[in-house]
Amino acid sequence: MILLNIPPIFGTEIKYVNSAILDIKFNNNNKFIQLCENWFESKFNFKKVFLTTSCTSSLEMAALLINVQSGDEIIMSSYTFVSTANAFVLRGAVIVFVDIRPDTLNINENLIEQAITKKTKAIVAVHYAGVSCDMDLIMSVAIKYNLYVIEDAAQGMMSKYKNVYLGGIGHIGCFSFHKTKNYTSGGEGGAIVINDDLLIKRSYIIYEEGTNRSIVNSNQINNYMWYGVGSHYFMSNLQAAYLWAQLKASKYIYNYRMNLWNNYFSELFYLSENKKLELPNIPKYCKHNAHIFYLKMKNRNKCYSLVNWLMKYKIIVSFHYVPLHTSPVAKRFSRFVNSDVYTTVESERLIRIPIYYNLTIDDQNIIIKYLKKFFIK
């Protein structure tokens, strides 16, 4: 059986997790958290990073940070994970969906301006498959209308937009270290990147359950107290130890995934030339991270026959998001601006195939062999 995904295990995780267990005895509870946060800040040139329990909590923290109020509108694409929308719905916001670009499945940057109203508060840029949105255009619209930009970079760690790492372009960036992503903190985890000085100032209180604990710790005032809204967003040191092993190995993991991605692309390219399928498009402004390899078939029925064909050879492939605006609950929380030209159509013909650090080249060759057979049979 070749699974769609296996969580990344590099091999060095146990060493750091053991060390974190020993640290518990000495009440040294944030060594690996510090190491990871510093790594992100220095390697990616981010102003402030907090490790969190998930990308979902990073997005929820982002909604608190920008002070979303009931009735505020948040613009995003509908082809995304539910948390991208829920984080803002939890604060009473209305989600305003905009169509995607067919080539990247990211928000169509040219349709954003028409969706802006007096109530618009922020634009969320989801970097699908670790391929970046066109951030220059998004940032210039945001500046023109005085809006926040939040990057949902859950899938985008190590990817770049014009030489800037994703997560570091908008006011806030959110990462996931869930087990399905390129790097994990042992199954669950995330990070929030804060690039705006005013937001950094407010962030400590929100991150530490609405207390002034971080200020108290550094100033030695007697006791911490309730200071505002916030929640318990921080990751445990044990998880950070697992993540630290992966960050130290991030280049190897990145290169390995990239090699798999490039193999797929070059082996399947002739099929795209023969119009049997479409392969992912990487815009010139983007350096991606090989997070997902997808094929676009002619239609949904073709997808089903591919899924069934590969199942016969014990190869698991899968669809991805059901667009949020097509859900029965969507009209309670959202509206779609203009028409859905690409979101539904493109999502219905996309199939993800296995790509992960622990996928062997032999297994990849088996996948490629049966894919080719499907298209020439």
Ligand X SMILES: *Cc1c(COP(=O)(O)O)cnc(C)c1O
The whole-angstrom separation of Cα 177 and Cα 159 is 15
**Residue 123 found at the interface with ligand X (CB under 6 A):** no
**Residue 81 found at the interface with ligand X (CB under 6 A):** yes
Q: Which is nearer to ligand X, 81 or 233 (CB)?
A: 81
**Residue 56 found at the interface with ligand X (CB under 6 A):** yes
Which residue stretch of 35-43, 79-87, 104-112, 353-361 sits at the interface with ligand X (rule: CB under 6 A)? 79-87
Which residues between 307 and 366 bind ligand X (CB under 6 A)?
Answer: none
Choosing from 84, 203, 212, 364, the residue that interacts with ligand X (CB under 6 A) is 84
**Residue 151 found at the interface with ligand X (CB under 6 A):** no
Please state the closest distance from residue 131 (CB atom) to ligand X, in A. Answer: 12
**Residue 106 found at the interface with ligand X (CB under 6 A):** no
Which residue stretch of 10-18, 49-57, 196-204, 362-370 sits at the interface with ligand X (rule: CB under 6 A)? 49-57
**Residue 246 found at the interface with ligand X (CB under 6 A):** no
**Residue 289 found at the interface with ligand X (CB under 6 A):** no
Q: Which is nearer to ligand X, 238 or 271 (CB)?
A: 238
Which residues between 11 and 40 bind ligand X (CB under 6 A)?
Answer: none
Q: Which is nearer to ligand X, 154 or 303 (CB)?
A: 154
Catalytic residue among 121, 160, 181, 296: 181
Residue closest to 73 by CA, chosen among 82, 83, 85: 85
Using an 8 Å Cβ cutoff, are 366 and 263 in contact? no
Contacts of 84 (CB under 8 A, 6+ apart): 59, 76, 124, 126, 152, 324
**Residue 276 found at the interface with ligand X (CB under 6 A):** no
* Tokens read off for 275: 């119009």
Please state the closest distance from residue 22 (CB atom) to ligand X, in A. Answer: 28
**Residue 178 found at the interface with ligand X (CB under 6 A):** yes
Q: How far is CA 279 from CA 69, 103, 159, 274, in A?
A: 41, 9, 19, 12
Number of residues this chain uses to bind ligand X (CB under 6 A): 14
The question of whether 181 is a catalytic residue gets the answer yes
Q: Which is nearer to ligand X, 182 or 211 (CB)?
A: 182
**Residue 176 found at the interface with ligand X (CB under 6 A):** yes
Question: Letter for the amino acid at 75?
Answer: I
Choosing from 2, 55, 238, 315, the residue that interacts with ligand X (CB under 6 A) is 55
Choosing from 76, 124, 154, 193, the residue that interacts with ligand X (CB under 6 A) is 154
**Residue 288 found at the interface with ligand X (CB under 6 A):** no
**Residue 54 found at the interface with ligand X (CB under 6 A):** yes
Which residues between 180 and 199 bind ligand X (CB under 6 A)?
Answer: 190
Please state the closest distance from residue 84 (CB atom) to ligand X, in A. Answer: 5
Using an 8 Å Cβ cutoff, are 204 and 55 in contact? no
Residues that bind ligand X (CB under 6 A): 54-56, 80-81, 83-84, 126, 152, 154-155, 176, 178, 190
Catalytic residues: 181
